[in-house]
A and B are shown apart, each in its own frame.
Chain A
Amino acid sequence: MIGDIKVQSVKRLREAYSWLDEFGRIGKVLAGGTDLMVYLNARSLMMPAYLDIWRIEELRTIEDEGNSILLGALTTYTDIIKSSIIAKYAPILVEASRTVGAVQIQNRGTIGGNIVNASPAGDTLPVFAAFDADLVIGSSGGRRTVPFNEFYTGYRKTALAPNELLLGIRLHKRNLGAQQGFRKVGTRRAQAISKTVIAINSKIENDVFKSIRISLGSVAPTVIRAPKTEALLRGKPLTVALLKEAAALAASESSPISDQRSSGEYRRWIVEALTRRGLEQTWKAATGKEVA
C-alpha cells in the first residue's frame, strides 16, 4: 500500500544518479506528477520506489545558448508560456503548452515528463519532432545526446536506459523556421487529451518551401514525422492541387487506431483537414497570398 512505497526526494543530480544506479530497474522517476499520480491514484502503476526530482533546480531552466535554446527537463508548461525566448523562436511550443490541461496542470506538468511518459498523445511531442530537437541524457557514467526523432523505439518505449535521467531538450535555432503552425483537435479546448495534433515548421522563401517539417501526434504508436509529405512539398510553391495531394499523403502516412477518444477513420480524416488548413495558413502568413 501507499505506506510501503519508498521515495527519495533529491536536490542534486549526483544524488539522482546514485539512486538510479541502485533502483533504476525497479523504480520510477517522479517529476510534476501530472501523469504518474493519476496512474498511482488508479492503482494501475504500483512501483516499490520513486525518485522525486521536482526540486533539482538546475533542471528548471530555459537558457539561450546562442545557436540553440536549452530547456531543462523540469521546465513547466507555465514556464514556457511565460518565456519571451520561446515566444520569439518557438511560438508553437507556447501554443502547444497552452493546450495542455489547464492552469493547474500547466503549473505542474514538465516537458521532461511529457517526453519520458512517451504517450503518443503528448501535446508537445509533435513540436519537438518538427524542430528536430536533441535530448540531453545523463547518468553516473556521463552525458549523451539523442536526437528526439530517434528517442521513441515503439509504443511507450524509449531509448532511455534504467540508470539514465533526461536532463533537457535542445532546440537548434537553425532548425526553427519562421513559419510555424500548431493545431490540436480534442473534445474541448481545455482538459482534453488530443485526438490528433499537427505541428508544422517551415521556411518559405521566394514563394517556395525552402524547408518543411510536419509531425503528427495521436495517430500512430509514437509521434511521427510525415517524410513523404515533406519531400513532396520541398522546393515547391503551394498550389491548390499540391495542397490537396499533400493533405491526402499526410493522412496516408498516419496509422491511427480507434480508441475511447476517437475512431481511426475520423483521425485520418482530421489529419488530412489539419494538414490542408495548417499548410494554407502557413503559406498565407509567409507570402501574403492565397493558395492558387
Chain B
Amino acid sequence: MKFHLNINGTECDADVPPMKRLLDVLREDLSFTGTKEGCGEGECGACSVLIDGAVVNSCLIPVCQADNTSILTVEGLAANERLSFLQQCFLECGGAQCGICTPGMLVAAKAILDRDRNESRASIREGIAGNLCRCTGYTKIIDAIEKAVMEKQ
C-alpha cells in the first residue's frame, strides 16, 4: 500500500505493507537511519520520533497509522548541517556516552522544549522517563536539556 509521510519537512512516499513498523519504514525504505531500534517493545525509547509534535515509540506504530502525518526524526534537528542549540548543549554537557539512546533522547528533549510550560529538573526527568540510557549517563543528559530549556526561557 502507498503511504505519504512528511519527514523533517520533506514529502516522502513509501509503498510498504500497512503493518510495517514506522521504525522500519524510516530506516529501510526511506534511509532515515538516525532513529535506532533498542528493545522493540516500547520500553527503551531509542526509536522515539515526533508524530505531529507528539513523542512516540516508532517501533509501536504501524505505518498505516502514520499516513499523512508530519514526522520529526533526529536528522531533522540539525538544519543545514548545523547542530541545533539542543544538540550543542548535549555536546557541551557530555550528554552522550555510547550513543545508542542519543537520537531518542534528543527527540524526547525536543518534545520537552516544544511544550509551553515551566520546566524543572523533575519535569525534565519525567519527560525522558521513557528513554533508557544503559550507560546511566542521565545526570549529564538532564544537565544538557536543562541548559537548552533555560536558554529558551
Residues of A with Cβ closer than 8 Å to B?
Answer: 2-3, 5, 7, 9, 30, 33-34, 37-38, 40-42, 50, 52, 54-55, 78, 101-105, 107-108, 189-191
Task: Given A52-B65, A78-B54, decide whether A103 and B59 contact each other with a Cβ distance below 8 A.
Answer: no
CA distance A41 to B60 in the complex (A): 8
A-B contact pairs, 21 of them (CB 8 A): A2-B20, A5-B17, A7-B18, A9-B64, A9-B65, A34-B60, A37-B42, A38-B60, A40-B19, A41-B21, A54-B65, A101-B130, A102-B130, A102-B131, A105-B42, A105-B57, A105-B130, A107-B56, A108-B54, A189-B129, A191-B130
Task: Given A5-B17, A7-B19, A37-B59, decide whether A52 and B64 contact each other with a Cβ distance below 8 A.
Answer: yes
CA distance A33 to B65 in the complex (A): 10
Residue B127 lies at the interface, judged by CB distance under 8 Å to chain A: yes
Contact of B62 (CB < 8 Å), options: A3, A30, A102: A30
CB distance from B52 to the nearest CB of A (A): 10
CB distance from A173 to the nearest CB of B (A): 29
CA distance A7 to B61 in the complex (A): 13
- Is A9 in contact with B67, judged by CB distance below 8 angstroms? yes
CA distance A5 to B20 in the complex (A): 10
Task: Given A37-B60, A37-B62, A107-B55, decide whether A191 and B129 contact each other with a Cβ distance below 8 A.
Answer: yes
- Chain A residues with CB under 8 A of B128: 102
- Is A7 in contact with B62, judged by CB distance below 8 angstroms? yes
- Is B54 in contact with A41, judged by CB distance below 8 angstroms? no
- Is A52 in contact with B59, judged by CB distance below 8 angstroms? no
- Chain A residues with CB under 8 A of B56: 104, 107-108
Contact of B61 (CB < 8 Å), options: A3, A33, A190, A191: A33
- Chain B residues with CB under 8 A of A55: 65
Residues of B with Cβ closer than 8 Å to A?
Answer: 17-21, 40-43, 45, 48, 54-57, 59-62, 64-65, 67, 108, 111, 126-132
CA distance A189 to B108 in the complex (A): 18
The residue in chain B whose Cβ has the minimal distance to the Cβ of A40 is B19
Known: A7-B64, A52-B62, A103-B108. 15 other contacts (CB 8 A): A3-B17, A37-B59, A37-B62, A38-B41, A41-B40, A41-B41, A54-B65, A55-B65, A101-B130, A102-B130, A102-B131, A103-B130, A107-B55, A108-B57, A190-B129
CA distance A261 to B138 in the complex (A): 25
- Chain A residues with CB under 8 A of B20: 2
- Chain B residues with CB under 8 A of A191: 43, 129-130, 132
CA distance A194 to B128 in the complex (A): 20
- Is B111 in contact with A2, judged by CB distance below 8 angstroms? no
